[in-house]
Structure 1
Amino acid sequence: MARKTKVEAEQTRQDILDAALELFNSKGYSRTTLGDIARRAGVTRGAIYWHFKDKVELFLALKEEMERSTQTRLEDILANEVRSLNDLLENALRFLRVLENNDRFRIYFEIIFYRTEFTEELQPVMIQQREKLQKLVFKDHRVFTALQQGGEVRGDVDCLQAAIGFVALVIGLFDLWLLDRDFFCLTERGAALIGGYLDNLKPT
């Protein structure tokens, strides 16, 4: 049998990721087997093992592909320069717009939030998520501190608490929206609620 070209191999890998996304969404991570994914992708289990060591590595690859394609990897977020409270608002709204308008990204977060049991097997994913959230909070803490020193944030504001509240507000908004997407417009409500939160930090 002729060996696959690099392009064909990449297409096979993408087909596997697409099948995994669909099945993790419909059946949940724990109830989806590599055999299920192989059948849905139209490949052998051997083809999956050629690209991924196991189901956890496949899950992490799916996470990386989602975040890279939407520029929401930790390194992308940390690289965003923030010089004002308005920059913080725009960065948050950019993320919410992607979530609202990109069905693939939305499905991925539905899997993370509602269709994945984070057992010991998925500890690598949990560790990555925990470290990402902590680094986001620490970055926002530094941002709020710098803006406080520049006079854009009130002097009596606890900047660490402000950072935790900011991250919690953004996560809470898209968590609530994922439960019922007809309940409210994510970016519209996000602009009002996040904007109001940040306005309350400004000097009177």
Structure 2
Amino acid sequence: MSKEPAKRELKQERSARTRVDILEAAITLFAKRGFLATTMADLARAIRMTPGALYWHFPTKEDLLLAAIDELHQRYQTAFGDLINEYRTLSAREQLQAFTRRTHHFLGSNREYGIFFGMLAAEAADSNERVAEAIREKLGLYAKVLGGILRHGQKTGEFRQDIDAEQAAHGVFGGYLGALMYQNLFRATLGYDPLASALDLLLTDGTLARTKP
């Protein structure tokens, strides 16, 4: 049996692992410095790789950033996949509570993910339309899921009728991303969990959600 297929497979596995390492470093660095201030040389140093080797995997910084956005999207889908499948067995209020809890804990355990999206959304809106559109697409999908929960609750009478479900869903995600950015600034005196818990409570028991009279 020829050794060439085995060698080729090993090389592909190493390349895939290297790609994951690059994306992990990129997500962390972009979250800390933003897109505009981070160079490919910075990224190469962070993963102890020559710039030439990095360019072999990703020809441009934009290509790397778009790949990082797709990678994070896959992680979000994995984290929420089981919950979405269970939604059909829950009331709208239970769906909303489960969704906010999962969002709270997922972002709390992976702070750089939310900060990454927050930083990039702020920068790309006025500097790179291709990146901005990629972020809008992903965040729009998450907001669509939440908006569906809110609309369902309006139909069942569990949620108040005087809100626009789509606008509210976008506002909620903006709130969670903003909370991460804000808490990062005040991290010496302000914890993420209490801040996110306050958002959870406002959403599920406050201005958006109301139990039937």
Instruction: Say yes or no: TM over 0.5.
Output: yes
The residue number in structure 2 matching 1:191 is 200
The residue number in structure 2 matching 1:27 is 33
Match of 2:168 among 159, 165, 168: 165
Q: How does 1:36-47 map to 2 (within 5 A)?
A: 36-47=42-53
Q: Which runs of 5+ in 1 are unaligned?
A: none
TM-score when normalising by structure 2: 0.71
- Corresponding residue pairs, total: 197
The 1:44–1:126 alpha-carbon spacing in structure 2 relative to 1, beyond 3 Å, is same
Residue 98 of structure 2 is aligned to residue 90 of structure 1: yes
The residue number in structure 1 matching 2:4 is none
Give the Å deviation of 1:167. 3.6
| SS state at 2:117 partner | helix
The 1:168–1:72 alpha-carbon spacing in structure 2 relative to 1, beyond 3 Å, is farther
What percentage of aligned pairs have identical amino acids?
27
Q: Judge conservation of contact 2:31–2:116 (CA < 8 Å) in 1.
A: yes
Match of 1:110 among 108, 115, 123: 115
2:190 maps to a residue whose letter is: F
Matches of 2:22 and 2:32 in 1, distance apart?
15
Would you identify which runs of 4 or more consecutive aligned residues in structure 1 move more than 6 Å? 72-80
Q: Which runs of 5+ in 2 are unaligned?
A: 1-6
Q: Which moved more, 1:31-40 or 1:52-61?
A: 31-40
Matches of 2:33 and 2:180 in 1, distance apart?
21
The 1:179–1:49 alpha-carbon spacing in structure 2 relative to 1, beyond 3 Å, is same
Q: Judge conservation of contact 1:56–1:121 (CA < 8 Å) in 2.
A: no
Give the Å deviation of 1:58. 0.6
Q: CA RMSD in A?
A: 3.4
Give the Å deviation of 1:119. 6.1
Residue 138 of structure 2 is aligned to residue 129 of structure 1: no
Q: Judge conservation of contact 2:143–2:170 (CA < 8 Å) in 1.
A: yes
TM-score when normalising by structure 1: 0.74
